[in-house]
Structure 1
Amino acid sequence: MVVDQRLVERIPSGLALDMAALSEPTACVLRAIDRAGIRPGSTALIVGAGPMGLLLSCLLPRCGVATVLVSEPSPERRRLAESFGAVVFDPRGSDLAAWVRSETRGRGVDYAFEAVGSASALEDAIDATDVGGTVIVVGVANPAARAQVSPHAIFAKELTIVGAWGVETTFTRAMGLLSTLNPRDLITDRFGLDDVEAAIGLARRGAAGKVLLAPGLERK
Structure 2
Amino acid sequence: MRAAIFRKGGLVVDEMPEPKPGEGQVLVKTLACGICGSDLHALHHAHHMVEMTERVSQRASRMDISRDIVFGHEFCAEVLDHGPGAQKNIKAGARVCSMPVAMSANGMEAVGYSNDYPGGYAERMVLNEMLLHEVPNGLPTEQAALTEPMAVGWHAVQKANMTKEDVPLVIGCGPVGLAVIAGLKIMGVGPIIAADFSPKRREFAEKLGADIVLDPAKTSPYKRWTEEAAPEGYDPDSMMTMLGLGPQLRPGVIFECVGVPGIIQQMLEGAPKSARIVVVGVCMEKDQFEPFFAITKELNLQFVLGYSPEEFAQSLHHLAEGKIDGGAIITDKVGVDGVAKAFEDLASPETHAKILVEPWR
Shorter-chain TM-score bucket reads 0.7 to 0.9
The separation in 2 between residues aligned to 1:7 and 1:138, in whole angstroms, is 28
Describe the superposition over 1:77-130 as per-residue Cα deviations: whole angstroms up to 9, x where unpaired: 111112323311112365443343344337586111011111222223333432
The separation in 2 between residues aligned to 1:31 and 1:92, in whole angstroms, is 29
Query: Structure 1 residue 24: deviation in Å?
Result: 1.2
Query: Structure 1 residue 35: deviation in Å?
Result: 1.1
Query: Structure 1 residue 8: deviation in Å?
Result: 4.2
Whether the aligned pair in 1 keeps the contact of 2:167 and 2:191 (CA below 8 Å) is yes
Whether the aligned pair in 1 keeps the contact of 2:166 and 2:250 (CA below 8 Å) is no
Give 1:89's aligned amino acid. L
Matched residue, 1:69: 193
Matched residue, 1:88: 213
Report which structure shows greater RCO (CA 8 Å, sep ≥6).
1
Q: Does 1:59 align with 2:183?
A: yes
Give 1:162's aligned amino acid. Q
Matched residue, 1:209: 353
The answer for unaligned runs of 5 or more in structure 2 is 1-18, 22-101, 104-127, 231-235, 237-248
Matched residue, 1:174: 315
Residue 130 (structure 1) aligned to one of 256, 272, 287 = 272
Q: Match of 1:162, SS? A: strand
Q: How does 1:180-191 map to 2 (within 5 A)?
A: 180=321, 181-183=323-325, 184-191=327-334
Q: Does 1:114 align with 2:237?
A: no
Query: Structure 1 residue 67: deviation in Å?
Result: 1.0
Query: Structure 1 residue 189: deviation in Å?
Result: 2.0
Closer, same or farther: CA 135–113 of 1 in aligned 2, 3 Å? same
Q: Match of 1:147, SS? A: coil
The separation in 2 between residues aligned to 1:26 and 1:115, in whole angstroms, is 13
The separation in 2 between residues aligned to 1:9 and 1:167, in whole angstroms, is 15
Higher helix share: 1
Report the structure number with the largest CA radius of gyration. Answer: 2
Residue 144 (structure 2) aligned to one of 20, 36, 44 = 20
Query: Structure 1 residue 11: deviation in Å?
Result: 3.0
The number of residue pairs the alignment matches comes to 215
Q: Does 1:196 align with 2:335?
A: no
Give 1:202's aligned amino acid. D
Percent sequence identity over matched residues?
25
The farther-off stretch of 123-132 and 198-207 is 123-132
The separation in 2 between residues aligned to 1:95 and 1:129, in whole angstroms, is 11
The separation in 1 between residues aligned to 2:212 and 2:349, in whole angstroms, is 19
RMSD (CA atoms): 2.3
Q: Match of 2:356, SS? A: strand
Closer, same or farther: CA 176–58 of 1 in aligned 2, 3 Å? same
Query: Structure 1 residue 214: deviation in Å?
Result: 2.0
Query: Structure 1 residue 205: deviation in Å?
Result: 1.3
Higher strand share: 2
The separation in 2 between residues aligned to 1:63 and 1:126, in whole angstroms, is 25
The separation in 2 between residues aligned to 1:43 and 1:126, in whole angstroms, is 17
The separation in 2 between residues aligned to 1:58 and 1:119, in whole angstroms, is 25
Query: Structure 1 residue 22: deviation in Å?
Result: 1.0
